[in-house]
A and B are shown apart, each in its own frame.
Chain A
Amino acid sequence: MYIYDEYDQRIVEDRAKQFRDQVRRYLAGEFSEAEFLPLRLQNGLYIQRYAPMLRIAVPYGVLSSERLRKLAHIARHYDKGFAHITTRQNIHFNWPNLEDVPDILEELASVQMHAIQTSGNCIRNTTTDQFAGVAADELIDPRPWCEIVRQWSTFHPEFAFLPRKFKIAINGAEEDRAVIGIHDIGLNAVRNEAGELGFQVLVGGGLGRTPMVGAEIRSFLPWPHLLTYLEAILRVYNRYGRRDNKFKARIKILVKALTPEVFAEKVEAEWQNLKDGSATLTEAELQRVSKYFVSPELESFAGDDAGYLDKRSSDNGFNNWATRNVQAHRAPGYAAVTLSLKQTSIAPGDISAEQLDAAAELADQYSLGEIRSTHYQNLVLPYVRQQDLYELWQKCRELGFATPNIGLLTDIICCPGGDFCSLANAKSIPIAESIQAQFDDLDYLYDIGDMELNISGCMNACGHHHVGHIGILGVDKKGEEFYQVSLGGKSGRDAAIGKILGPSFAAIQMPTVVQKLIDVYVENRTPEERFIDTYERIGMAPFKERVYAADN
């Protein structure tokens, strides 16, 4: 994990101080609400339906037991005892008082955390693979690069007021768990023929009103040029991105209007002026940052732990959990474990203060103190010995972390929606709950197999509904909450945007609608097909027919 030195520490402390003064001036009436808005947003502070909401940055999802305990403390002391993991690996508190936020920021700074640029029209938290550094299919560890980008983007003076928010994701593995194709910039680590490291650069991906997968503007950018090239992209966007219409202000609209080729030329021209400048990365800096991410000393095991394998064959419940929630590790005898925050009847991604403390305990005991947040709104323990898995599972069961549903239909990605978010058209959490309740039979769930079901409460698509195999979007129909369903979305390397099934449904219909979609899949699938495969083979029509058939 990256550890702040005095410089990093000073910057977050200065920020906390600055915001304390801004809040003071706001409360003293020196600001209009409109002037305060971008200042508080750049500190992650929203004024929501019922209360302010504070979004805390979890840079590329890396947490520690110490940080979790601090978050637990904040949840208890400044909130109603809960925190929420977002679809961008960050943390929300839904009930802080504005007056308390400076104190919260100060508390966060004490564990090297902050809320910098978690909202507003600026460069947001850079995200990556939740299995970074432990995944077996990794080409490079993306975390040092994320940290380098984090530092470059933090208070970048030229790009604090972009046309719209800006998200960067970095992938370093074979599989793309960071979903770089749906980000404003997606960076994919690649090696050229000489074996040198660089990045494939995608630009203009994003969900929202005009969902798009990013276009490649450079197939190989040698790594020393990463920051100067990013600077060139951002400058072109800052100057030429649309500012007259909020819905057309994302970089994807500019890229589309110019065409990716012309956009790439503009970036290239700008870059020629910046290239080889002082922002060119050095081997020394890469080393400095990388040393914080060197894999910790792990015990050496010859292979899989025999006791673990035994338990898997003798205990069915454990085996289920191990099948879904335990991921392969590059070190023999180790595993990465996902703590599911997708228990039925609890909002996806919600975690109580007690659970935060307990997760910190688990991290200390089983995972060298490290823990990750994922864009699927779960937590991951990255360094667990296989021999500890059985014990860990039993503890997870007591703590509500053991729902063995990772990657299954009930592992729903879901935004806060109308229960909290003031932009929502409709509630999303109750829809997730009703679907989870409909599919509460574990054997059945396993039989359905790999499935991504994503729910957003409005077009902003925080719940990534476009890239769900089944996507659900809250829409407003004459003041009533309805839900539009799309099929065929995909995240990962072959990311695709789902297609709309047809007219929308009332909330109460949703579990049945999903049930019918699953029925069609189960009836038509070949033994090795996942839902998405069957859909791609047989197309939309059979699903549509079933769902809209006159009452049956």
Chain B
Amino acid sequence: MQQIIKGNQVVPDTWEMLAKDASLEQLTNSGDIIVPLAMWLEHAHALKARDGRLGVWLDADEEAESIADDLEHFAVIALNFPVFSDGRSYSNARLLRDRYQYQGELRSIGDVLRDQLFFMHRCGFDAYALREDHDPHAALASLNDFSEVYQAATDQPLPLFRRR
């Protein structure tokens, strides 16, 4: 079972991620699953009727707006980084947290590397599925790369100039 960082700890991941081309027929009634956005948009009804818990994942080119009205149905929202240098999911994260007030787990998936964790955390992520060849225990340290920040963001509602 993959380990992920959740909060400030490394924990086993109990969720099953479904690929973009997964089909509804494959699903069991129980078990916690994270479904691709397209599946949610098409089969919301059936997914809500399952017993297991539900999450959804958005690719970098998919928009937070498309699930803005559905947030109550998700225990997890995962945002994909197809490559770590694709920064779109940072904006999606902030929209989900700051604009749509999403309170559940917000997880980064895909090409997630330790040197980006600090930024992710600031944008509202609280769980990180590091790329498999990376050690999540070592990566924990990077959540604290900086002891001070200038801007307001999800983790710190006031910019430094309102605190200094």
Question: Which residues on A are within 8 Å of B, measured CB to CB?
Answer: 5, 7, 10-11, 14-15, 18, 22, 35, 38-39, 121, 151-152, 154-162, 227, 235, 238-239, 243, 273, 277-279, 281-282, 284-285, 288
Contacts and interface: CB of A to CB of B under 8 A. Distances in A.
B91 A10 contact: no
B151 interface: yes
Interface in B79-131: 84-88, 90-92, 94, 99, 113, 115-116, 118-123
A160 B148 CA distance: 17
A178 B162 CA distance: 30
Interface string B131-164: 0000000000000011111111100011111101
Please give me the 6 A-B residue pairs with the lowest Cβ-Cβ distance, nearest first. A161-B87, A157-B122, A157-B119, A285-B161, A151-B150, A158-B90
A59 B16 CA distance: 48
B151 A156 contact: yes
15 contacts: A11-B146, A11-B150, A35-B84, A121-B87, A151-B160, A155-B146, A157-B119, A157-B149, A158-B122, A159-B87, A243-B86, A243-B88, A278-B158, A279-B159, A285-B162
Given A14-B147, A235-B91, A281-B161, 7 more contacts: A7-B164, A10-B147, A35-B113, A38-B84, A157-B153, A158-B122, A235-B94
Contacts of A239: 63, 88, 91-92
A540 B118 CA distance: 54
B150 A158 contact: no
A161 B87 CA distance: 5
- Per DSSP, chain B at the interface is loop
B146 A238 contact: no
A489 B7 CA distance: 54
Nearest to A243: B86
Contacts of A38: 84-85
A472 B161 CA distance: 44
B152 to A, nearest CB: 5
Contact of B87 (A10, A14, A162, A227): A162
A3 B122 CA distance: 26
Contacts of B91: 158, 235, 238-239
Given A5-B164, A273-B99, A158 B148 contact: no
A383 B84 CA distance: 47
A263 to B, nearest CB: 16
A152 B150 contact: yes
A279 B85 contact: no
Given A7-B148, A18-B145, A35-B84, A288 B119 contact: no
A277 B162 contact: no
A189 B140 CA distance: 44
B115 A161 contact: no
B88 A238 contact: yes
A385 B85 CA distance: 50
Contacts of B147: 10, 14
Contacts of B148: 7, 10-11, 14
B87 A160 contact: yes
Interface in B42-65: 63
A341 B90 CA distance: 43
A154 B115 CA distance: 16
A524 to B, nearest CB: 51
Contacts of B152: 277-279
A18 B146 CA distance: 8
A7 B159 CA distance: 12
A158 B160 contact: no
Contacts of A284: 161
Contacts of B159: 152, 227, 278-279
A14 B146 contact: yes
Contacts of A18: 145-146
A239 B151 CA distance: 19
Contact of B162 (A10, A273, A278): A278
Contacts of B113: 35
A39 B114 CA distance: 11
B145 A14 contact: yes
A522 to B, nearest CB: 51
Residue picked from A158, A159, A239, A243, most chain B C-beta under 10 Å: A158
Contacts of B157: 278
B27 to A, nearest CB: 31
Contacts of B99: 273
A160 B81 CA distance: 13
Contacts of A278: 152, 157-159, 162
A231 to B, nearest CB: 9
A14 B63 CA distance: 34
Residue picked from B63, B84, B149, B150, most chain A C-beta under 10 Å: B150
Contact of B151 (A10, A152, A235): A152
A288 B150 contact: no
Contacts of A11: 146, 148-150
Contacts of B145: 14, 18
A158 B146 contact: no
B160 A7 contact: yes
A154 B162 CA distance: 17
A235 B150 CA distance: 18
A158 B123 CA distance: 7
A121 B83 CA distance: 14
